[in-house]
Each structure stands twice: as structure tokens, then as C-alpha cells.
Amino acid sequence: MEPQVLYADDVVLVVFKPAGLLAAPGGGGAEARPHVPGLLSPTWGPLWVVQRLDRDAAGVLLLARTPQVRRALGRALDAGRVQRVFHALVRGNPPWAQRDLTWPLRVNVGRRKRTVVAARGGRPAHTVVRVLERFGSHALVEAQPRTHRRHQVRVHLYAAGHPVAGDPLYGPGPLPEDPLPGLALLARHLRFPHPLTGQEVRVRAPDPPGWAQALDALRWEKALVDRETAS
């Protein structure tokens, strides 16, 4: 469960974080668990996480190698110039091809620290979602968060009636019909302005273990269903 370096220079590091690994040290006794900066700092020196990524999700993670660069990237993030695109395998067949999800969100609610839709007291949140492929029982969607609330993609898809497959916090967790054993959420693309040159840097995450096989299995099942329906 080691992070894979995808891009590196003197001030920035982009890695692929596998599912199950903490992106950064956390509270509640999580400090002793392995996390990305702790695993990489013996080789790369001190690191600061710019955008967090849920422990159960996999994908691209941006880190700064100095506090000054962390602040610069933080300003770019607040200005909307640091962008991530997620791929999610969701349950069901969305009736839309593309949709703007704009429910306001309130974070850290209750004992499980969930994020909830809250018309009163919620902070503005915006996720653009687009269906990439339909399988009948599931769909592959692209989600672009325009704001950065905790668990935003997961909560917005859950509120839209199509939770991420395998989500134990905003759904029942993995079900027998799900083709993956865990949370089917991948931070697929990252785009950001380099803090020194201003030039745009783009990084794409590789497939996590089992991802391509799961999609192929869903395609095969859909082909069988379509054939039986047509006959």
C-alpha cells in the first residue's frame, strides 16, 4: 500500500494514493496509521498535502515540498485553478446525461463525522457530473467538484439517488452485485498551475487494482442482458 510518484520537481510532488491509505495524519487516534507524507518524507523530505483525498478512495494527490509552495497552491485552490476530476462507479442508471449538483453541505455531523445536505447552515457546494458509460445496474460517471467540501462528491451523488458503489458511509457498503470490494471512487485527473512557472501541469492516475476488470465485467453482463432482451 505504497504511494506511487507520478510527477516530481523541486517544489511539487504528485502521487497516486491507493485506497485504504490516509492522505495525511488524522485525529482520533489515526496519527499512528500510515499516511502519504509519512511514507514519502524519508525520501523526499517534508511534505504538505494541498488537497485531501478520502482514505477509502484512490487517485491523484498533490503535495507541496515547502510551506511557501503550500500557501501558493492553497491560493490557487481557493481561486478554482486547482482542479480534480473524479471517476465513480455509481449504483443505478441516472436519468440524466449531465447534471449540476448544488446542494449546500454541512460537514462533520454526528458521531460518524458525516457530511449532510443542509438547506439551512450548509455551505455552498457545486459538483458537475456527467455519465460516461451505462451498464444498467451501475453507471460510470465523471464528477468535477467546483468547490471543496469534505466528501462532496460522495454526498452529492448519494443525494442525487446514485451513491458510489461500495460506500460504507453514504450507503450500505459493498453489495454482492457490486464488481469492486470497496469504494468505487477514483481521483482520475489533476490540473494545477505550477507555483513557480505558472504553466499548467496535468497528471492522470493509473487504474487501481481491479478497476479495469470490474468495468469489463459490467460490460459483459450488460451485453448478456441486452442479448436476452433482444431475443
Give 113-130 as a DSSP string: TEEEE-TTTPBP--EEEE
Neighbours of 53 (CB within 10 A): 23
Query: Among 10, 54, 178, 216, which one carries the catalytic annotation?
Result: 54
Distance in angstroms (rounded) separating the CA atoms of residues 35 and 20: 10
Residue with cell 509519512: 38
Query: Which of 145, 135, 137 shows the shortest CA–CA distance to 188?
Result: 145
The letter for the amino acid at 52 is R
Distance in angstroms (rounded) separating the CA atoms of residues 116 and 200: 34
Residue 140, CA distances (Å) to 22, 96, 156, 161, 184 in order: 25, 13, 15, 14, 10
167 catalytic? Reply is no
Q: Which residues are catalytic, by number?
A: 54
